């Protein structure tokens, strides 16, 4: 029909790679066999899907020619948008390359203009045009005297402000085009926000008509929005491929309307996909899974795309457990060959760092590499899980998240006690649900029952519920305090109902004023929804409100709801957090932002891990064992020719820099330097520090990002690289002292009578758990053998020269990525 569109289609498809010829086409709109258009304002975006020879589905919405027959009933534009012209039946046909498909269309009341409903039709225009965004008129104070509710959550308020405020100066029914609202919107009069809508657009025309109609609000009996649906829901796409989405709004009267051009689109990983305002999604060049969040008037839905790499996957090892089975299935379906297995030295170092927060000792390295036992990796995992260092490392992790923070000197005793309690729980492998219960429902005095310390930092129900949700349910509810959560289904009602669990927390001063005693204040748990000013009963997220008797501690009811087998969030949050700990990327990322609109990259994996975890009795060590035993965890970090860009399919190990405390201990171990922290026994490792107060005395820990325990987010620990870190390792006096100390490694090695080959071998094993290769040996030995002069120019004696040489080699090793990273 329209030649330019065919040309365009050809060009587009060439750009996307090889042009695939469709074997069959399908046209759909709402999923019904017949498309119904009612009223003059009706519009419908079509979705044309082609099935290729190899069975793959591809979006051809913008690649086909459209025709409607008989003429005059509907018209279809080149983007596949259908507009009604007159009542009757017609058939819309799409064809390309000789393949075609059609869809019957029925038009009713084509001449009727349905009365406009303000919340259903006008408010979405403001959302789409970003008028009511948090940056402009949607913020709490509005913009330049005009306030709209954020993202249109409160249509009645919007109507008040728009139509009645300021003596109705914003709308001019007698001459609608001259309404201030429209003139500002199209930028024909100065507007800080610029031009938000086009004069030649359906939205503009609808606004004009609405104003001309006298700005009707709509009737109470008008249908209300119930949900939104996106088509397709899931699709496998090609790299750089394109997909048109269709967004359908379902109303309470059963009617369905196309809101594709009014909805908002956002991918959950911007490095994988980008979206257009008209609902077109384009993949970039990273294979994997991406979710596109679709939002319309407070309802959300998600489109999930999988982009395979499409390579042959032949070298998968035999799966060891369900983790492998599911990860490998994904690699096969995506067509991404994994990297090979890591060697023993790499695995030893990696798993020691991930489980026990330390590099292996020289002895451990020698023994492990020489051990011929085929089960040695599993045994190593078991022995690391049994070690005191595992307890230290994970106590350190949880201590920061549980805000074990030294805000004043009198916090010290409570902090030591709380850290010790967490460590004991890790050591004894206390079931996770019990661990959480004892924190959330903690009562008593801080030294007698240390988890009460959590309540010392998290002081009011708002903070308590937000931390609980973020830490234990993997959800960020903060936004829902003041308005409906923009990305998730949680409303203020949900927020305040959840806070009601914490409404009966009593506090009474103990002998030390700062250490309050926590207990359940008898009374019926209730909170007030700050929006509606109505009382609300405690309710778990998505659960029914509870009647909790005055005598019952509602926090125990909360703990019961969380640890219930059927709770959809509790187990998933933990397994996802621990997955991220070991695999450097959560199955949902970020790990505490789990929502429908941020879907897991491998939902089967997440579900299976969660089910396994619950079935095991919330066994944390058991979970770690399953994850680290898997071949998936043990892949090498070195990419093959295909998986360099893999960020979420776990086809290789994703390296990351050692966390601050682990690095500090590793540097000390390598240089044989003592660590000392004020008030703690000499030799205390940074991994064992009980709270954040020791950061103040250690520039190293601060510059490498040790958190201050001010937040329930693991992101408080900065893993970012910085110039300050490089400079510190290169130049700091602290490091120089460790290198040049008389009792340090350099001095030891210099005085050691063995040949350099052997000593360098030890050094490399200490740093990297491997032997140096011949090139490294040659380079190092050449450096060690260089004759040196002292400051006056006199040649140094051999031992002094050797020592300097070893200091240099050690310094170089300290600064290598291989040392600084876990890989």
Partner 1 sequence: MRSVAELPVPLLNSVTPMGGKIGTETEITIAGADLDEADALHFSHPGITATLKSPNHFAVKIAPEVPVGNYDVRVVGKLGVSNPRAFVAGDRPEITGTKAHDKAEAAVQMPMGSVFNGNVTAAASDFFKFPAKKGERVIIVCATKEIDSRMSPVLAVLDAAGREIESARKGGVLDFTAPSDGQFFATVHDLTFAGGPDYFYRLTISKGPHVEFIFPPAGAPGSKAAFTIYGRGLPGGKPANLSGGDKKPLEKLDVEIALPTVDDAAHKRFSRPMSAVDDGIFYSVKSADGSSNPVFIGFSTEPLSREVEPNNKPGQAQKISVPCEVAGQFYPAADVDCYAFDAKKGDVYWLEVYSHRTGRTTSPFLLVQREGTDIKEVYASDADPGGKKFSTLSNDPAFRFQAKDDGTYRVSVSDLFGATRSNPASTYRLVIRKETPDFRLVAVVEPPANAANKNDRAAAPRGVMLRSGETTAVRVIAIRRDGFNGAIELSATNLPEGVKCVPMKIADGKTEGVLLLTAGDKPAKNCSAIQIVGKAKIGDGEVQREASGGAVVWTVADYNIDAVPSRLTADFSIAVNGAEAAPIRIESAEDKVWQAAKDAKLDIPLVIKRSGEFKEALKLKAAGIAAVDAVKEIDVDAKASTATVSLDLKALKIPAGEHTIFLSTQTKGKYRGKDVATTIYSAPIRIAIQ
Binding site for partner 1 (CB under 8 A): 387-388, 410, 412-413, 416-417, 420-421, 424, 427, 437-438, 441-445, 447-449, 506, 510-514, 517, 519-520, 522, 551, 553, 555-556, 679-682
Tell me whether residue 447 is exposed, middle or buried, using C-beta atoms within 10 angstroms of its C-beta: 0 to 12, 13 to 18, 19 or more: middle
Query: Smallest gap, in angstroms, from Cβ of residue 391 to partner 1?
Result: 9
Query: Smallest gap, in angstroms, from Cβ of residue 519 to partner 1?
Result: 4
- CB closer to partner 1, 13 vs 693: 693
- Across-strand partners of 306? 236, 289
- CB closer to partner 1, 115 vs 683: 683
Residue 89: CB atoms within 10 A of its CB come to: 12
DSSP letters spanning 782-793: HHHHS--B-TTS
The DSSP secondary-structure symbol of 398 reads H
Is the separation of the CB atoms in 401 and 705 below 8 Å? no
**How many residues would you count in the chain?**
823
- CB closer to partner 1, 236 vs 361: 361
| C-alpha–C-alpha distance, residues 324 and 322, integer Å | 5
Query: Smallest gap, in angstroms, from Cβ of residue 438 to partner 1?
Result: 5
Residue 117: CB atoms within 10 A of its CB come to: 20
Query: Smallest gap, in angstroms, from Cβ of residue 619 to partner 1?
Result: 17
Query: Smallest gap, in angstroms, from Cβ of residue 706 to partner 1?
Result: 20
- CB closer to partner 1, 420 vs 478: 420
Query: Smallest gap, in angstroms, from Cβ of residue 818 to partner 1?
Result: 29
- CB closer to partner 1, 439 vs 735: 439
Query: Smallest gap, in angstroms, from Cβ of residue 350 to partner 1?
Result: 22
- Across-strand partners of 135? none
- CB closer to partner 1, 236 vs 449: 449
| C-alpha–C-alpha distance, residues 729 and 700, integer Å | 9
Give a three-class secondary structure readout of 295-352: EECCEEEEEEEEECCCCCCCCCCCCCCHHHHHHHHHHHHHCCCCCCECCHHHHHHHHH
**Which two tokens mark 381?**
């995992």
- CB closer to partner 1, 309 vs 425: 425
Query: Smallest gap, in angstroms, from Cβ of residue 429 to partner 1?
Result: 13
- CB closer to partner 1, 112 vs 676: 676
Angle formed by the axes of helices 432-440 and 554-563, nearest 10°: 160
| C-alpha–C-alpha distance, residues 188 and 321, integer Å | 65
- CB closer to partner 1, 479 vs 524: 524
Query: Smallest gap, in angstroms, from Cβ of residue 452 to partner 1?
Result: 9
User: Could you give the 3-state DSSP secondary structure of residue 753?
Assistant: coil
Question: Please, what is the Cα angle at 622 between 768 and 669, to 5 degrees?
Answer: 25
Give residue for tokens 């203020």.
492
- CB closer to partner 1, 200 vs 551: 551
| C-alpha–C-alpha distance, residues 78 and 73, integer Å | 17
Query: Smallest gap, in angstroms, from Cβ of residue 559 to partner 1?
Result: 8
| C-alpha–C-alpha distance, residues 235 and 57, integer Å | 8
- CB closer to partner 1, 505 vs 614: 505
Closest CA to 577 of 610, 614, 604: 610
Residues whose CB falls within 8 Å of the CB of residue 519, separated by 6 or more in sequence, listed in order: 443, 444, 506, 507, 508
- CB closer to partner 1, 511 vs 791: 511
| C-alpha–C-alpha distance, residues 603 and 233, integer Å | 15
Query: Smallest gap, in angstroms, from Cβ of residue 425 to partner 1?
Result: 11
Query: Smallest gap, in angstroms, from Cβ of residue 349 to partner 1?
Result: 21
Query: Smallest gap, in angstroms, from Cβ of residue 448 to partner 1?
Result: 5
Query: Smallest gap, in angstroms, from Cβ of residue 710 to partner 1?
Result: 22
Is the separation of the CB atoms in 788 and 795 below 8 Å? yes
Query: Smallest gap, in angstroms, from Cβ of residue 408 to partner 1?
Result: 9
Query: Smallest gap, in angstroms, from Cβ of residue 675 to partner 1?
Result: 13
User: Could you give the 3-state DSSP secondary structure of residue 703?
Assistant: helix
- CB closer to partner 1, 38 vs 366: 366
Is the separation of the CB atoms in 162 and 170 below 8 Å? yes
- CB closer to partner 1, 376 vs 413: 413
Angle formed by the axes of helices 570-583 and 432-440, nearest 10°: 110
- CB closer to partner 1, 563 vs 598: 563
| C-alpha–C-alpha distance, residues 427 and 406, integer Å | 24
- CB closer to partner 1, 171 vs 426: 426
Query: Smallest gap, in angstroms, from Cβ of residue 606 to partner 1?
Result: 29
- Across-strand partners of 228? 249
Residues whose CB falls within 8 Å of the CB of residue 248, separated by 6 or more in sequence, listed in order: 30, 31, 228, 229, 230, 231, 256, 257, 258, 259
| C-alpha–C-alpha distance, residues 229 and 233, integer Å | 8
- CB closer to partner 1, 336 vs 525: 525
Is the separation of the CB atoms in 427 and 531 below 8 Å? no
- CB closer to partner 1, 441 vs 588: 441
Query: Smallest gap, in angstroms, from Cβ of residue 554 to partner 1?
Result: 11
The DSSP secondary-structure symbol of 25 reads E
Closest CA to 353 of 323, 376, 395, 381: 381
DSSP letters spanning 406-440: -SSGGGHHHHHHHHHHHHHHHHTT--HHHHHHHHH
Residues whose CB falls within 8 Å of the CB of residue 776, separated by 6 or more in sequence, listed in order: 760, 764
Q: Helices marked H in 100-228 — which ranges?
A: 123-128, 155-159, 180-185, 202-212
Tell how strand 47-52 and strand 99-108 pair up. unpaired
């Amino acid at each position: 029909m329209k030649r330019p569109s065919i040309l365009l289609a050809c060009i587009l498809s060439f750009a996307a790679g090889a042009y695939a010829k469709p074997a069959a086409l399908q046209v759909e709109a709402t999923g019904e066999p017949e498309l119904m258009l009612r009223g003059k304002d009706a519009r419908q975006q079509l979705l044309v899907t082609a099935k290729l020879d190899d069975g793959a589905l591809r979006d051809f919405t913008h690649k086909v020619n459209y025709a409607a027959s008989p003429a005059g009933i509907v018209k279809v534009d080149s983007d596949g948008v259908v507009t009604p012209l007159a009542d009757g039946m017609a058939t819309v046909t799409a064809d390309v390359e000789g393949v075609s498909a059609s869809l019957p269309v029925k038009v009713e009341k084509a001449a009727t203009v349905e009365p406009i409903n303000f919340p259903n039709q006008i408010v979405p225009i403001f959302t789409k045009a970003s008028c009511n965004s948090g940056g402009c008129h949607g913020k709490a104070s509005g913009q330049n005297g005009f306030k709209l509710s954020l993202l249109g959550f409160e249509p009645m308020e919007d109507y008040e402000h728009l139509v009645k405020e300021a003596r109705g100066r914003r709308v001019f029914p007698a001459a609608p085009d001259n309404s201030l609202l429209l003139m500002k919107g199209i930028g024909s009069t100065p507007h800080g926000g610029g031009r938000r809508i086009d004069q030649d657009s359906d939205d503009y025309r609808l606004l004009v008509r609405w104003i001309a109609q006298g700005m009707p609000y709509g009737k109470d009996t008008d249908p209300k929005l119930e949900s939104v649906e996106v088509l397709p829901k899931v699709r496998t796409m090609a790299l750089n491929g394109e997909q048109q989405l269709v967004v359908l709004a379902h109303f309470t009267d059963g009617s369905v309307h196309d809101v594709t051009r009014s909805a908002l689109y956002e991918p959950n990983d911007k490095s994988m996909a980008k979206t257009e305002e008209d609902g077109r999604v384009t993949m970039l060049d990273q294979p994997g899974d991406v979710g596109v969040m679709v939002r319309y008037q407070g309802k959300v839905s998600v489109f999930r795309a999988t982009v395979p790499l499409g390579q042959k996957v032949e070298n998968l090892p035999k799966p060891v457990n369900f983790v492998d089975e599911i990860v490998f299935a994904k690699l096969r379906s995506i067509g991404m060959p994994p990297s090979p297995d890591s060697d023993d030295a790499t695995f030893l170092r990696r798993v020691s760092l991930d489980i026990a927060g330390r590099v292996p000792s020289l002895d451990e390295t020698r023994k492990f590499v020489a051990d011929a036992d085929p089960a040695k990796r599993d045994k190593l995992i078991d022995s690391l899980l049994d070690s005191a260092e595992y307890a230290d490392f994970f106590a350190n992790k949880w201590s920061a998240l549980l805000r074990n923070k030294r805000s004043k000197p009198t916090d010290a005793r409570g902090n030591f006690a709380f850290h010790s309690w967490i460590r004991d729980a890790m050591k004894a492998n206390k079931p996770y649900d019990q661990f959480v219960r004892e924190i959330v429902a903690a009562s008593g005095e801080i030294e007698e029952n240390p988890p009460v310390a959590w309540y010392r930092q998290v002081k009011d129900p708002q903070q308590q519920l937000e931390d609980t949700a973020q830490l234990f349910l993997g959800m960020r509810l903060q936004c829902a305090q003041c308005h409906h959560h923009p990305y998730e289904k949680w409303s203020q009602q949900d927020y305040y109902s959840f806070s009601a669990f914490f409404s009966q927390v009593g506090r009474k001063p103990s002998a030390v004023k700062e250490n309050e005693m926590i207990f359940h204040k008898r009374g019926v748990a209730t909170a007030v929804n700050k929006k509606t000013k109505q009382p609300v009963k405690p309710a778990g997220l998505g659960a029914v409100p509870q009647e909790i008797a005055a005598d019952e501690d509602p926090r125990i009811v909360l703990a019961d709801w969380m640890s219930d087998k059927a709770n959809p969030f509790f187990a998933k949050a933990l397994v996802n957090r621990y997955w991220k700990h070991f695999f450097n990327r959560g199955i949902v990322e970020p790990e505490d932002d789990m929502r429908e609109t941020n879907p897991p990259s491998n939902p089967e994996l997440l579900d299976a891990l969660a089910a396994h975890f619950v079935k095991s009795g919330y066994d944390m060590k058991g979970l770690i064992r399953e994850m680290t035993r898997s071949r998936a965890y043990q892949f090498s970090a070195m990419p093959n020719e295909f998986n360099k860009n893999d960020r979420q399919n776990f086809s290789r190990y994703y390296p990351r820099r050692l966390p601050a405390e682990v690095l500090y201990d590793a540097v000390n171990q390598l240089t044989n330097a003592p660590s000392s922290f004020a008030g703690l026994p000499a030799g205390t490792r940074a991994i064992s520090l009980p709270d954040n107060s020791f950061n103040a005395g250690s520039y190293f820990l601060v510059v490498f990002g040790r958190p201050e325990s001010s937040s329930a987010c693991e992101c408080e620990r900065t893993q970012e690289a910085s110039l300050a870190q490089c400079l510190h390792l290169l130049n700091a006096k602290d490091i120089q002292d460790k290198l040049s100390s008389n009792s340090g490694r350099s001095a030891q090695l210099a005085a050691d009578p063995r040949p350099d080959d052997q000593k360098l071998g030890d050094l490399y094993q200490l740093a990297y758990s491997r032997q140096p290769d011949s090139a490294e040996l040659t380079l190092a030995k050449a450096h060690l053998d260089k004759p040196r002069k002292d400051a006056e120019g006199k040649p140094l004696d051999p031992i002094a020269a050797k020592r300097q040489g070893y200091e240099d080699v050690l310094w170089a090793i300290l600064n290598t990525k291989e040392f600084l990273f876990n890989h």
